[in-house]
Chain A
Amino acid sequence: MTYNKTILYIVACTILFLYGTFAFSQEPETSPPSNVTAVDTPNDDGSSITVTWDTAEDSGIVGYKILRNTDAGEFEEIGEQLDADVSEYKDKEIIKGKEHAYIVRAITETEASVDSLQTGAVRATGQWFHSGKIQLFIAMIIFCGSILGSIYLSRNNQEVFVRRIPGLEAVDEAIGRATEMGRSILYVLGLGGVSGPATIASMTILGQVARRTADYETTLRVPCNDPIVLNVVREMVKASYLDEGRPDAYSEEDIFFLTDSQFAYAAGVDGMMLREKPAAIFLQGTFYAESLILAETGNSIGAIQIAGTDSEHQLPFLITACDYTLIGEELYAASAYLSKEPMQLGSLRGQDWGKVLIFLTIVFGVFLELIGVNWITTFLQRVS
């Protein structure tokens, strides 16, 4: 009896030992990624789908891979392996108009993998309105409203005062000097594209300068860096000559394309300065590293130089090497200052109202932050 019991005891222990060895030799079971969802990315142009899932802690997962199918086809891996702490993937390589479903594959330390359930099929669509930018839209309405209101008042004969801007008062002096010396005027628009605010401002100043050169019969040379800017500039200058009743004085050859390469353009304009020796040089627009090269060469030939840019890194060089410099927003104000048109003057005053708004926002914002109220900062965070 005792013998049988001992045998039974040994067999039971052996079974327990074998079971334990087997059980501990197995990997802990990794659960598949849960709550996997795929949704059309909100507020985009319909070019992406966002996949999200819950990350599991202490599960031995070292990363995730995303599998995608198109129109119920085969699932294929897309993109690189994602880190274990990532819980979102934006698929930007979808096919527009097709339905996509996703599986999130968890990868373990031993390169084993566990797949999630398949998500529902999703088709990406574009949105007309970006709901996250409503605050920015409201702020824009306020700013634009102040400008439009000022333009309206200005058009209704309300006089607008504009303070003296020395750089712009020198425009007539520069053109007069070039006329007296019988030399040309060189107008450089910089390297900005046609939609750049500084280039647009520069083109409107050029329109005013062209009116005066048409009157004085002074040669106006404009080397352009962008073929589209060239076409717009030609139209503007031609219109100015027509307005002054001097279409015969307009010469299309004086407004020409040089090159779109930054330093080749600088080399070409420098060469023109040295050979033609213009009496007045206007450097108005967007400038980069070539600003000092141009301004120094202009200075070396003794030309009167009037510069203006909103490129804050180039302003120091222009201030150093030019006779007059329009700093930042002075460039945008220049057109209104020179033309004295009610619409532009109204716009200028509207911009000043915008600045008053910024001024008040800063003063109240600082005060409120000091007493622990931060709704202005929160609003600014939402719009920026």
Chain B
Amino acid sequence: MELFGIWIAAFLTLCIYSFLYKDNPFYRFAEYLFVGMTVGYGIVLSYHQGFIPFAWEPFMDVFTGESLFGLIKLIPIGIGLLFFSGLSSRHTWLIRFPSAILIGVGCGLAIPNVLRANIFEQTRGTIEPFAAINAGTLSGMEIFSAILMVIGVICTLTYFFFSVEHRGPVKWVSKIGIAFLMIGFGSAFGNTVMGRVALLIQRVDFLINDWLGSFVALF
């Protein structure tokens, strides 16, 4: 059975890799299988991990008299059911209610976290090393890094000013900002490519050792 699994996995891996040549029936087969399987899996997962514990069980607890807490679930269930109004062209507009609630709640939850993590913590991280400079606990290289960081942040921030025309000093400062961004992107690019190469090696290792190795086991 394990051998069968290895052959299936190897066949599908080769089907997907055949895309490197051009679109072909093998790739299409693997693509449709992959898409179809994940949709089916997603439905089962949503049913067991979403619908049953969060809607059905609390709702049934009300009928069995175990807890009346499930009654409150009627509100989100009702809002969620409005998504099905899309099935009727006359009532499609009802979809706007659950959509608006989801976007509103999502933004409300996201904005404080974004402000905290992306603005306040980053600003603090930029300033904080200067306390250590004042205390005299940083080495020459660390002082240089702290100063470089402040210059980079200010220049990059200038690039993202949209209501100011980028000419004169603003233009040059924002150009330095772009240079900082590109250096950062280059570093991230190299780092991620190394990760992807590691994934490729893992897959090739599977084909050579597990799949081709199974030939040796057979003969």
Contacts and interface: CB of A to CB of B under 8 A. Distances in A.
A271 interface: yes
Interface stretch (B49-57, B108-116, B208-216): B108-116
B99 A261 contact: no
Interface residues of A, number: 73
User: In which size bucket is the chain B interface?
Assistant: 35 or more
Contact of B42 (A261, A315, A371): A261
Interface in B111-127: 111-112, 114-117, 119-121, 123-124, 126-127
Interface stretch (B1-9, B70-78, B163-171): B163-171
Nearest to B69: A96
A260 B34 contact: no
A114 interface: no
Interface string A351-384: 1100100110111011001111010110011011
B202 interface: no
Contact of B109 (A195, A200, A234): A195
Contacts of A289: 196
Contacts of B121: 380, 384
B123 A361 contact: yes
B203 to A, nearest CB: 13
A232 B19 CA distance: 33
B163 A162 contact: yes
A219 to B, nearest CB: 20
B102 A316 contact: no
Contacts of A227: 83
B163 A161 contact: yes
Contact of B124 (A292, A352, A380): A380
Contacts of A5: none
Nearest to B102: A194
Nearest to B106: A195
A197 B109 CA distance: 11
A357 B122 CA distance: 14
A316 B186 contact: yes
Contact of A372 (B111, B128, B134): B134
A291 to B, nearest CB: 10
A275 B31 CA distance: 13
Contacts of A193: 106
B32 to A, nearest CB: 8
B131 A317 contact: no
Interface string A108-152: 000000000000000000000000010010011001000000000
B181 interface: yes
B120 A383 contact: yes
B102 A228 contact: yes
Interface stretch (A14-22, A44-52, A58-66, A262-270): A262-270
Given A136-B112, A377-B131, A362 B153 contact: yes
A139 B115 CA distance: 9
A258 interface: yes
A359 B106 contact: no
Interface of B: 16, 19, 22-23, 27-28, 30-31, 34-35, 37-39, 41-42, 83, 86, 92, 95-96, 98-99, 102-103, 105-107, 109-112, 114-117, 119-121, 123-124, 126-128, 130-131, 133-134, 150, 153-154, 157, 160-166, 181, 184-186, 188-189, 192, 196
9 contacts: A162-B163, A228-B102, A235-B92, A271-B23, A315-B185, A316-B185, A316-B189, A359-B154, A369-B134
